[in-house]
Amino acid sequence: MDTTIRSEAFQTFADAAGSIMNPAVREWRAQGGKVVGYFCSHMPTELLMAAGLLPFRMRGTGSEGTELSDAYFTSINCSFPRHTFNLALKGDYDFLDGLVCVSSCDHVRRVYDNWKQALPTPFLRIMSLPKKVDDPQVEWYRDEINLLKDDLEQHFNVVISDERLREAIRLRNETRRLQRQLYFLRKEKHPRITGAETLAVMVAGSAMPAEQYNPLLQRLLEDLSQANGERGKTDYRARLMIVGSELDDPEYVDIIENQGGLVVTDSICYGTRTMWVDVDEQAADPVEALARYYIQERPSCPRMNGDQPRREKFVQDLIQEFAVDGVIGERMLFCDFWCAEHYMNKQDFKEAGIPFLQLDREYITSGKGQLMTRVQAFLETMGK
């Protein structure tokens, strides 16, 4: 990814997003810290932080194939878990002291089953994720969080007190507020940071301790503020929004932006859906506050049934707030949830007069020429 940002903080983020084992994880491990991986943004990372653990969101970054994981998954499984599990089988995730899976979809759910049989990770758990966003489901997830809390305390010999949970919530909310400030810069007519650069910053936040990430992000915001007037994206043809699922590859966004479409916002699970609202820091029960946030308060994904009208409003509000000209619907092949969601999105955008392009993809960015051609054609149909 090419960048014109002159900032050591940004380079640190780009390095962390471009590899699995980054310097922050090495340093954490060297100091005796333990790392627990997780797959889905519904995972309450504050719980791991309160246990003194480093949450690390699982990715397949750097994978070149699925030759090992193909013995466990069929060719019609989503390529994201296949590439990620392939790295695990090769030993790239041997630094993990634990893994928590959430039953977010059948594809990721199968990772847990196969991991349990094939890999000797000391701590391995799965959380049951409700399919609705009502109060009974909040209570359900509160119980799930408490079960995981008990298991973490017993296995890692720690005490996760309410005070430690509140401090973790405060720290994670600080991350969210800083990330929102970064996004607000993209409202400008000539944003000082591109969509690809922003995604690198967001991915890095899932692979670094918040105590290190937050000051670096604050420094990046200051660097970008000082660069006001010296840089800014001016050579774009349209302001775009990406709506979709698991997207952790800045190169994918970079290809879109190299065709003239500047990605100014998103609704993805490495983007706004993880940080657009905060966890209630004043709640009497921090565990219930986490359950309510992850099930009911944060922007949902198609995993949650009956919440599509709220998702539509969230996207439409962002379109207005960021002056979006068109929307790209990103979907991993074989993802049932987003197949149905993008069908509904297409109808909603058509009614609202918003240009929409659906792009299905494999986890590894391939077929770059086809992607470039489709984005170019989309911009031309928009009159851009």
Question: CA-CA distances (angstroms) from residue 219 to 17, 197, 216?
Answer: 18, 15, 5
Model pTM above 0.85: yes
Longest alpha-carbon distance in the chain = 61
Helix (H, G, I), strand (E, B) or coil at 257: helix
> Which amino acid appears at position 292 of this protein?
R
Percent over 70 (pLDDT), the chain: 98
DSSP assigned state of 345 = H
Residue ranges of domains in the chain: 21-131
Contact between 86 and 63 (Cβ < 8 Å): yes
Mean pLDDT of 314-343: 95
pLDDT in tens, 45-59: 999 999 999 999 999
- Predicted confidence band of residue 316 (pLDDT cuts 50, 70, 90): very high
Sign of CA dihedral 137, 248, 318, 370: negative
Output phi, psi for 186, to 5 deg.
-85, 0
Please check the confidence at residue 346 and state whether its pLDDT lies above 80: yes
pLDDT of residue 220: 97
- Predicted confidence band of residue 366 (pLDDT cuts 50, 70, 90): confident
pLDDT of residue 228: 58
With CA atoms as reference, report the closest residue to 263 among 344, 322, 182, 179.
322
- Predicted confidence band of residue 234 (pLDDT cuts 50, 70, 90): confident
pLDDT in tens, 184-233: 999 999 999 999 999 999 999 999 999 999 999 999 999 998 875 445 67
**Residue 267 CA to its chain's centroid (Å):** 10
pLDDT of residue 383: 81
Lookup result for tokens 């995981």: 148
Q: Which fold has domain 21-131?
A: Rossmann fold (3.40.50)
* C-alpha–C-alpha distance, residues 158 and 160, integer Å: 6
Strands of the sheet with 326-332, listed across from one edge? 261-267, 238-244, 326-332, 356-361
Please state, rounded to an integer, the average pLDDT across all residues of the chain. Answer: 94
Give the end-to-end CA distance of the chain in Å, rounded to a whole number: 24
Lookup result for tokens 């500047």: 262
pLDDT in tens, 68-116: 999 999 989 999 999 999 999 999 999 999 999 999 999 999 999 999 9
